[in-house]
Amino acid sequence: MTSTTTPYLLADAPREADERFAALAACFDSNTFETLTSIGIASGWRCWEVGAGGASVPTWLAGRVGATGTVVATDIDVAHLSPAPPGVDVREHDVATDHAPGEAFDLVHARLLLTHVPERRRALQAMADSLSPGGWLVIEDFDVAMGPAACLDPQSADERRANKIRAAFITLLAERGVDLTFGRNLPRELRSLGLVDVRAEAHFPISDPATRTLERANTKQVADALVAGGHATTAEIDDHLVALDHLDIATPPLVTVRARRPERDDRTSRVAAMDDTMATSSGVVSVRPEPGTLERDRLDAFVGLSEHTAGARSISMQLVIVPPGARATAHFHPLHETVIYVLGGRVEVESGPNLEHRHLCQTGDFVLTPAGVIHAPRNLSTTEPAYLIAARTDPSEHEQTVQALS
């Protein structure tokens, strides 16, 4: 689907790919087609399907645009688009590095692609630039961290094992550079490209025969990596594949975002203004929090330096204000380390597989949380907020976070 310096975990070549494409179509095609219908796709439209994978979406597009329209379907591996569906122009193409296969598209669509592309911002820019005035960009991608559980209410040993294997699968994805929180960031990303009429929603299958099929295909394809990494035994994987016949399996939320290029395109001036702000003659970038920030509780809001606010490439830093008595959900960061300086207040950090350890952190303390350590901080005061400066080896505002499941 995309080329990366780290091998793609779910490469299209293995035999499970056909099974996975069919399951994805069963899970999400109806939602995709409803979205594309809602933006008014009609005869004569010029469409680019990016990272097409299977044939279901390009085939549907060709049927909607008819003989007067065009559908270009691209992928780095077009084996699953051979022979080409009727009315579809199939091309080998890497959205991370190659020029767009044309311009003035009325629709550019990508589903479950960009989380796997390290140069995802460059790819988004290329897609936006290929739109005609008034053209639509529709991006659909998982937000894995928003819904990491395979079984939402685990009661049995089979369900708990399913969640263990799903958590291990997520760890493998993160190790290969997948952005686990990409879906939630898409509206902001598309607005930053100068697109308008941005709208987003999430589709969340919880129990469906197709979700079992998808889980089975994914598990088979990564089984060797799960065992090699010590995440699961061969017996656990075999038992999981058998148990799937009677489990309710959920997918992560699929976030669908649509946005339109303005009829009068002022994106060039916006980008130039951003460049003037972020690239000074010294190369130094400063960001000042909005007035009154320190007077408000902002546990979830981002105030600081990141890829988005300052163009950072490998680090971010933010002010975290923990409201009185607040406690974060137990979670871990698969890839990056986090360091915290306590500006004010007293915070207790529970850590460990069962949150069995307690760490008191108070004003003046420096705190390190290694990658992969489950932790849950809480403000010990019920009347005063705690103030923290947090820095991490991840440039995004929403770091790759996985909730720890019981």
Per-residue model confidence as pLDDT tens digits over 199-241:
999 998 999 999 999 999 999 989 999 999 999 999 999 999 9
Name the band, by pLDDT with cuts 50, 70 and 90, for residue 16.
Answer: low
Query: Quick count: other Cβ atoms within 10 Å of Cβ 62?
Result: 23
Is pLDDT at 126 greater than 50 in this prediction? yes
Looking at residue 166, what is its pLDDT? 94
Say which DSSP state 268 is in: H
Reported residue count of the chain is 406
Domain 280-399: what homologous superfamily? Answer: Jelly Rolls (2.60.120.10)
E-assigned strands of 58-181?
A: 70-75, 88-92, 105-111, 131-142
Is pLDDT at 331 greater than 50 in this prediction? yes
- The domain spans of the chain are 16-271, 280-399
Fold of 16-271: Rossmann fold (3.40.50)
Q: How far is CA 135 from CA 43, 50, 188, in A?
A: 14, 15, 18
Does this chain's domain 16-271 share its CATH topology with 280-399? Answer: no
Q: Tokens at residue 250, please?
A: 């959920």
Query: Quick count: other Cβ atoms within 10 Å of Cβ 66?
Result: 12
96-109 residues labelled b (16+ CB within 10 A) or e (exposed): beeebbeeebbbbb
